[in-house]
Chain A
Amino acid sequence: MHRIAHAISALPDNPALSARIAINGVAAICDPLGGLYLPDLDILVVSDLHLEKGSAFARRGMMLPPYDTLATLRILEAVIARHDPKTVISLGDNFHDRVGSALMPDQFRGMIETMARGREWIWINGNHDPDGTVGLPGTSADELRYAGLIFRHEPAKDATAGEIAGHLHPAATVTRREKRVRRACFATDSRRLIMPAFGVTTGGLDLRHKAMHGLFDRTSLVAHMLGRDRIYSVRFSNLLG
C-alpha cells in the first residue's frame, strides 16, 4: 500500500505511529503522511507540495496524469483532519511552476479553500514558485520567524538553530542483509529539520548526497522515515546496519 491509498484510510481518530521529537527545544510530531505538527504552537507544516506538476509537464508536451494535485490534496486533507491545526505553513515549491496556481482547475481551488476555512494559511515561496500564489486563501512570504523557529524553503548553509526547511526532498536508505529500502524522511539533528517532499510525484534525494553535506551534525542526525502507516526512526549511523 502506498501513501495515496493510506491517506484514504487515515481518519482523524485513526491512531498512527508518529515520532515525537523536538527542534531547538520546540516539540514536534512527525506524521507518517508527511506533515510536521507542532502541538504547542498548533501549527502544521508541510513542504514541497509541487501542486499541478502534471499540468506543468503537459504544457511542455509530456502528458503526465492530471491526478497528482488531487492525490496530494487528499493526503493534505487527511493530515489536516488528523491534527486540526490553527495554522498551516506550506514551505515552498507549493506549485511546480510559476503559473501553476493561476491555472489550477476550480475543483482543486475549492478543496484548498475548504481546508483553509477557519485557519491561518501561510505560503512560503519556493524556487519553483517564487512569485507567491494567485487566487488562493492565505498569505505569501519568503520566510517566517516565530517562537524560536525559522520557516523557509531552502535550508541555509550556515546552520541556524531552529530552522525548518524543505527543498531537498530528503530520503534515507536502510540496508540490512544485502537488501535496501528507501523512503522519504524528516531529517533532523534536533537543531534544524528538513521536511520530506509532500507531493505525490516528487522524488527523493538521499541523505548521503553531497547537497546534504554540512547541513547536519551527523552524529545526532536521525532519519524519520515515512512507512506505510508509521514513522521508522533510524540514526544516520545505523542506516547501513
Chain B
Amino acid sequence: MNQIDSATRPEMSLLLPPPFLRWFAEKGWQPRAHQLELLSRVQGGESMLLIAPTGAGKTLAGFLPSLVSLTERGKIPPGSAFTGIHTLYISPLKALAVDIERNLMKPVGDMGLPIRIENRTGDTPASKRQRQKINPPDILLTTPEQVALLLANGEAERFFKDLKYVVLDELHSLVTSKRGHLLSLGLARLRRLAPRMQAIGLSATVAAPMDLQRWLAPQREGENHHAGLITVTGGAKPNISILSTEERVPWAGHSANYAIGDIYRAIGETKTTLLFVNTRSQAERVFQELWTINDDNLPIALHHGSLDVGQRRKVEAAMAENRLRAVVATSTLDLGIDWGDVDMVIHVGAPKGASRLAQRIGRANHRMDEPSRAILVPANRFEVMECQAALDANYLGAQDTPPVGKGALDVLAQHVLGMACAEPFDPLELYAEITSASPYAALPWETFERIIDFVATGGYALRSYERYAKIRKTPEGRWRVSNPQIAQQYRLNIGTIIESPMLNVRLVKHNARGSLGRGGMVLGKVEEYFIEMLSPGDTFLFSGKVLRFEGIRESECLVSQGYKLDPKVPSYNGGKFPLSTYLAQQVRKMLADPARHKALPDQVRDWLSLQADLSMLPKEDELLIETFPRGSRHYMVIYAFEGRLAHQTLGMLLTRRLDRAGLKPLGFVATDYSLAIWGLEDLGVAFRNGRPRLSDLFDEDMLGDDLEAWLNESFLLKRTFRNCAVIAGLIDQRHPGKEKSGRQVTVSADLIYDVLRSHEPDHILLEATRNDASTGLLEIERLGDMLARIKGHITHRPLDRISPLAVPVMLEIGKESVNGDAQDFLLAEAADELFEDVTGEHHL
C-alpha cells in the first residue's frame, strides 16, 4: 500500500477507531488518501462517487464508512427492539457478492469487529432468506433483482428503516442497462424508507462522471443535486503496443489467425496472460488454433459465458492458483473476481471502445502502481487503425462509455406493480419518488398515468378488462393489488434480464448399433436460434471442441465429437460490440490525415496510399461513396464509419429507397466501417444523372416514413417487443407451478405483437418497444447524427473497378448470409424466391 504523508496522520487517527489503526499498523499498511477522504466526506453527510482503477483498494474504501460506523455502534444487545440492516451492498454479479463476503470477512475477523455480514442471492436457501428478514445482518451483500424483491415486500419498511449506507459496486456497468433503471427506482424507494440513507458508488473511469453523480442523488426539478466525486487516477500508464508481425495482415475477417504464432510466442515469454476477444466464436477459434500449435503443452484455458458453470469455476480456481499460463476470455464482466497475478493482456481484434480497452487492460496486474502490459492484435487492416486510435485514446485518458439513457417504460411498469405489492400507493407520492431517480427525472405525469393504467388492465383503448384489474384504486385514492396471487406472480417474474431460450449442449456417443447413447457430459448452453439453423451432421466449434450436431432431444442439443478440423458453421455471434462513436471519429481523422499514416505498419500504409492513388481518402466529415461494376453486378460502397448496427439500419433503409427509384438493389452487407449495396442496374450512372440524387437518397427524412414502414415489418421489433412484454409483466416468463419454456413465450409474443400493432398502434408497450429498438439494436440516433453531419459533404467517386478500401467489405459478401441479427429483410427475400421453386398444384 501507499505511504501517505504525515500531515494526514492526525486526521487518520480521528477518523479511524483504534482496532483499525492497530490492524493497519500490524499489517505494516497505511490507508490510502482516497479511502480516508471518502470516509471523511461520507461522515460529513455526503453521498459519494469513487472512480478508481482496478487494484486501488476500491472495495475497502467503499466499506470503510460502514465498518467504522458499525464498530462505533457496537453489538446490538439481545432483546433489543428490531433493528433493520445497516448497509446494503449491491453488485451486478452474484459471484462478486459472494467473493466480497470472503474478502470482507478477513479484515473484520482480524480486527474482531462486532459485525454480521451475509449475502443474499438467487442461490440463497429460502430458510436463510426468511431468517434474514426476521433477524437481519448488519451488512447485506446482494444483487439488483434481490433489492427489487425485498422492496416489493410488505415488510420492506421495517427491514430498511435503519439503513445508513448503500454501496453500489461496478456502477459504470450497471447504470447503462435496464437493470440500472430498475435499481435507480429501487434506490429512490430506499431513500423514502430511510430518508438519511447515503449512497456510495464505486466505478471504473467513465466519460461523464456527473451522470453517475446525479444517479446517486435524489433529483428535484430545477435543482442540482449530485453526489460528491473522488477520482483516483491510475498510477503508472499502461505499456500498450500493437502486435508487430512479419505475417500478412488480412483485408477482412475477425479471426486473427495470421497472428496465432506471434501470440503463442508472447504467451511463452510471460508468466500469465489474459487473452481477450470480442465474441464467443472468436474465443473458441483462437483457443483451438493455440492448441493446434501448442507443442510445449502450455496450460491454456477457455472461459466464456456460455460454458457450463462448473467448467468456468474450475478455470477460475486454476487461474487464482497461478496454475495457468493463459486464459482466452470474452468479457470483463464474466471475470469480476480475483484473477491472481496477470502479467499481460493480449487483446485479439479491435477493442471497439476506448473505455472497454482501459477496463480490460486494468485486469493485468492488480497492483496499480506498476504499469500493465498489453498487446493489441488487429484482425484486419481497418482494425489496425482502430487499435491505433484506441491506443492513442488510452494515453490521452479519453473515455467513451455509453450514456445513462432515459429510463425504460417496461421497467417502470414492473416497478409500479412491485410498489403496489409492497403497500397501497398514492399516485402523486409515487410519481414524486420515481422522478427523483435521475433516469426518470423527465418522466411526464401523463406517461406515468398510462403506465398505471397499463399495470392495472393492460392500458387498452377498448376498456374491457376493468373487472380483471391487477391493481385497483381504494376509496382513499390509493392503488393496491387485487389479490395475493398477483404479488406471488410478480415475485416469480422480477428482473430485467431476459434469457434468450437456451439449450444444454450434451456430448453423447454413438453406441455399437449406431444409435445415440444416453447420458454424457453437459458442455454448456447455446441460444436456440443458433441450433435452429443447424442440420444433423453439421459441425461447429464449442467449448474448445469441434462438435457434430446430432439432433435435439427434449430441451437438449445432442452433439458428438467431430473429427473434421474445419467446422462447417463458423458463426456463433454471441456478444459482438459495435464500434464506439469516439473510435469511429478517430479512425476517420486518421484516414484523412496522411501525416498520421506514418505510425501505421507498412502494409496498412501502402494500402491507404494505393487507395489515395486509385480513388481517394475521404476527409474527416466527408462521406465517400464509390460505385463500380464487378462481375455481372454493380456495387456501391458507403464509408460511413458508424459501426455495424447503424450500417445495417442504413442498409435496410437505402435498399428500400433504391428499390423505389427503380434501381433494383439485390442485397447489402455491413461492417463496422462501411456498407456495400449491390444490384443489377448501374448505380454510378444513375447517381451521375441525378436519378436519384445522392443528397436525396441520404436525406434525413429516411428516418421518417421509411423507418416506420420498415420497423413495422421488422423481426427485430418483434424480439424487442417480447423482451418489453416480459419485463413489463404483460407476458409471464414463469407462472407459479408451471415453467413456461422460452420458446412458448417467443411464439405467443410475436402473435400478440401483430394483433396489438394492427389494432392499437399507439399502445404504450409499442412505444416502449420502439424506444428500445431505436437506441439499442438499430442505433437510429447515431444514424441521424451521421446523416446531419454529412449533409452537403457527400462525394461520389465512380470507378471502373473495385478500390483498395472496398476490398474488406466486399470480402464479407456471402459470409453474412449464415445468420445474423437483422437479417429478416434478407430472409423475407429468400423466402419469396424459395417459394417460387416449391412445386405443387396451384389454381386460381
Q: Which residues of A contact B (CB under 8 A)?
A: 2, 4-5, 15, 17-20, 54-55, 58-59, 61-68, 70-71, 105, 174-181, 200-204, 222, 224, 227, 230-235, 238, 240
* B744-757 vs A, Cβ < 8 Å mask (1 yes, 0 no): 10011001101110
A2 to B828, CA, bound (A): 12
Give residues 804-829 of B contacting A (CB, 8 Å): 817-819, 827
Cβ of A232 and Cβ of B838 under 8 Å apart? yes
Interface positions of B from 661 to 702, Cβ below 8 Å from A:
none
Partner-binding segment picked from B17-25, B55-63, B247-255, B460-468: B460-468
Contact B458 A58 (CB under 8 A): yes
Contact B758 A63 (CB under 8 A): no
User: With A17-B844, A62-B730 in contact, is A232–B458 under 8 Å at CB?
Assistant: no
Q: Contact check, B535 vs A233: say whether CB atoms are below 8 A apart.
A: no
Interface mask (B468-484 → A, CB under 8 Å = 1, otherwise 0):
10100000000000000
Given A65-B458, A65-B756, A65-B759, A179 and B834 contact (CB-CB distance below 8 Å): yes
CB <8 Å contact, A180 and B533: yes
Indicate if B565 sits at the interface (CB-CB under 8 A).
Answer: no
B457 contacts the other chain (CB 8 A): yes
Cα of A59 to Cα of B459 in the assembled complex, Å: 15
* B840 adjacent to A63 (CB under 8 Å): no
Partner of A61, one of B486, B751, B755, B756: B486
* Shortest distance from the beta carbon of B111 to any chain A beta carbon, whole Å: 51
Judged by a CB distance under 8 angstroms, whether B485 is at the interface is yes
Contact indicator A222/B840 (Cβ below 8 Å): yes
Q: What is the CA–CA distance of A233 and B837 in the complex, to the nearest angstrom?
A: 11
B532 at the interface (CB under 8 A from A): yes
The listed residue (B489, B533, B819, B844) touching A15 by CB distance below 8 A is B844
- A230, B454: Cα distance in complex, Å: 38
Query: Which A residue's beta carbon lies closest to that of B534?
Result: A178
B841 within 8 A of A: yes
Q: Does the CB pair A63–B457 fall under 8 Å?
A: yes
Which 6 A-B pairs have CB atoms at the shortest separation, nearest pair first? A233-B840, A63-B458, A67-B759, A203-B747, A58-B468, A181-B831
Cα distance A4–B464 in the bound complex, in angstroms = 21
Chain B contacts of A62 at CB under 8 A? 730-732
| Given A61-B489, A65-B752, A66-B464, CB of A181 within 8 Å of CB of B834 | yes
Inter-subunit contact B532/A180 (CB<8 Å): yes
Report how far A230 CA is from B840 CA in the complex, Å: 12
B751 near A65 (CB under 8 angstroms)?
no
Chain B residues contacting A227 (CB-CB under 8 Å) are: 835
B831: chain A residues at CB < 8 Å are 179, 181
Whether the pair B468, A61 counts as a contact (CB closer than 8 A) is yes
> 22 pairs across A/B with beta carbons < 8 Å?
A17-B842, A17-B844, A55-B468, A58-B457, A58-B465, A61-B470, A62-B731, A62-B732, A63-B459, A63-B468, A64-B731, A65-B752, A65-B759, A177-B834, A181-B835, A200-B755, A201-B752, A227-B835, A231-B842, A232-B835, A232-B840, A234-B840
Give the size of the chain B interface in residues (CB under 8 angstroms): 46
Once the chains bind, are B458 and A240 in contact (CB under 8 Å)? no
Contact B730–A176 (Cβ < 8 Å)? no
Q: Is B73 an interface residue when CB atoms closer than 8 A count as contact?
A: no
Chain A's nearest CB lies how many Å from the CB of B266?
37
Apart from A177-B817, A178-B819, 6 more pairs, CB < 8 Å: A19-B843, A61-B470, A65-B460, A71-B759, A178-B817, A232-B840
Bound-state CA distance A230–B460 (Å) is 33
**Does the CB pair A19–B460 fall under 8 Å?**
no
Closest Cβ–Cβ distance, residue B159 to chain A (whole Å): 26
Fill in one digit per residue for B592-622: 1 if any A CB lies within 8 Å of its CB, else 0: 0000000000000000000000000000000
- CA distance in complex: A27, B60 (Å): 81
Q: B744, A203: Cβ atoms under 8 Å?
A: yes
Contacts of B843 in A (CB 8 A): 17-20
Contacts of A178 in B (CB 8 A): 533, 817-819
Q: Is the CB of A201 within 8 A of B755?
A: yes
**Pair A67/B462 contact, Cβ less than 8 Å:** yes
**B458: which A residues are within 8 A, CB to CB?**
58, 63-66
Q: A179-B834, A203-B747 are in contact. Are A4 and B758 (CB under 8 A)?
A: yes
Report yes or no: A201 in contact with B468, Cβ–Cβ below 8 A.
no
Residues of B within 8 A of A67 (CB): 460, 462, 755-756, 758-760
Contact B841 A63 (CB under 8 A): no
Is the pair B533, A66 in contact by a Cβ cutoff of 8 Å? Answer: no
Closest A residue to B538 using CB positions: A178
Q: Output the least CB separation between B498 and chain A (Å).
A: 16
Taking a contact as CB atoms under 8 Å apart, the answer to whether A65 and B760 are in contact is yes
Query: A residues within 8 A CB of B840?
Result: 19, 222, 224, 231-235
- A66 to B467: give the CA distance in the assembly, Å: 13
Choose from A64, A204, A230, A240 the contact partner of B842 (Cβ within 8 Å).
Answer: A230
> Do B468 and A174 touch (CB < 8 A)?
no
User: For chain B residues 736-786, which have a beta carbon within 8 Å of chain A?
Assistant: 744, 747-748, 751-752, 754-756, 758-760, 763
Using CB atoms, name the residue of chain B closest to A227: B835
B460 and A176 contact, CB distance less than 8 A: no
B511 within 8 Å of A (CB atoms): no
Q: Is B839 an interface residue (CB 8 A)?
A: yes
Q: Shortest CB–CB separation between residue B59 and chain A, in angstroms?
A: 42
State whether A105 and B533 are in contact (beta carbons under 8 Å apart), knowing that A4-B758, A200-B751, A201-B751 are contacts in the complex: no
Q: Are B470 and A66 in contact (CB under 8 A)?
A: no
Q: Give the docked Cα–Cα distance between A125 and B840 (Å).
A: 33
CB contacts (< 8 Å) of A64 on chain B: these are 458, 730-731, 752
Judge if B830 is at the interface, Cβ distance under 8 Å.
Answer: yes
The one of B457, B459, B842 in contact with A233, judged by C-beta atoms closer than 8 angstroms, is B842
Residues of B239-294 whose CB lies within 8 A of A: none
**Contact A55–B465 (Cβ < 8 Å):** yes
Which residue of chain A has the shortest Cβ distance to B455 in the bound complex?
A63
Q: Provided the pairs A232-B835, A233-B841 are in contact, do residues A68 and B755 lie with their beta carbons within 8 angstroms?
A: yes
Closest beta carbon of chain A to B832's beta carbon, Å:
9
* Chain A residues whose CB sits within 8 angstroms of the CB of B819 once the complex forms: 178
Which residues does chain B contribute within 8 Å of A233, judged by CB atoms?
838-842
User: Once the chains are docked, how many angstroms separate the CA of A71 from the CA of B460?
Assistant: 15
> What are the residues of chain B within 8 A of A15 when measuring CB–CB?
844
> Distance in Å from the Cβ of A200 to the closest Cβ of chain B?
6
A106 to B835, CA, bound (A): 42
Minimal beta-carbon separation of A122 from chain B (angstroms):
27
* A179 adjacent to B755 (CB under 8 Å): no
Instruction: Given A61-B485, A64-B730, A200-B751, answer yes or no on A70-B759 (Cβ-Cβ < 8 Å).
Output: yes
Binary per-residue interface labels of chain B (42-70) against chain A in the complex, 1 for a CB within 8 Å, 0 otherwise: 00000000000000000000000000000
A70 to B758, CA, bound (A): 11
Given A71-B758, A175-B535: A66 in contact with B460 (beta carbons within 8 A): yes
Bound Cα distance from A202 to B827, whole angstroms: 23
Tell me which of B489, B751, B842 has the highest count of chain A C-beta atoms within 10 A of its own C-beta: B751
Q: How far is the CB of B152 from chain A (nearest CB, A)?
A: 15
Cβ of B758: which chain A residues have Cβ within 8 Å of it?
2, 4-5, 67, 71
In the assembled complex, the CB of B488 is this many whole angstroms from the nearest CB of chain A, namely 10
Docked-complex contact A174 and B841, CB < 8 angstroms:
no
- List chain A residues, Cβ under 8 A from B535: 175, 240
**Pair A63/B465 contact, Cβ less than 8 Å:** yes
Is there an interface contact between B841 and A71, defined as CB atoms closer than 8 Å? no
Complex Cα gap A70–B756 (Å): 11
Tell me how far the C-beta of B336 lies from the nearest C-beta in chain A, rounded to whole angstroms.
Answer: 36
Kindly provide the distance from the CB of B394 to the nearest chain A CB, expressed in whole angstroms: 40
Give complex CA distance A3, B817 in Å: 27
In the complex, chain B residues 335-384 whose Cβ is within 8 Å of any chain A Cβ: none
Tell me the minimal C-beta distance from B569 to chain A in angstroms: 8
Within 8 Å by CB of A176, from B830, B841, B842, lies: B830
Q: How far is the CB of A54 from chain B (nearest CB, A)?
A: 8
A2 touches B844 (CB 8 A): no
CB neighbours (8 Å) of A238 from chain B are 838-839
Interface flags for B114-132 (1: CB within 8 Å of A; 0: not) read: 0000000000000000000
B834 partner, pick from A174, A202, A204, beta carbons under 8 A:
A174
Residues of B within 8 A of A204 (CB): 747
* B residues less than 8 Å from A180 (CB atoms): 532-533
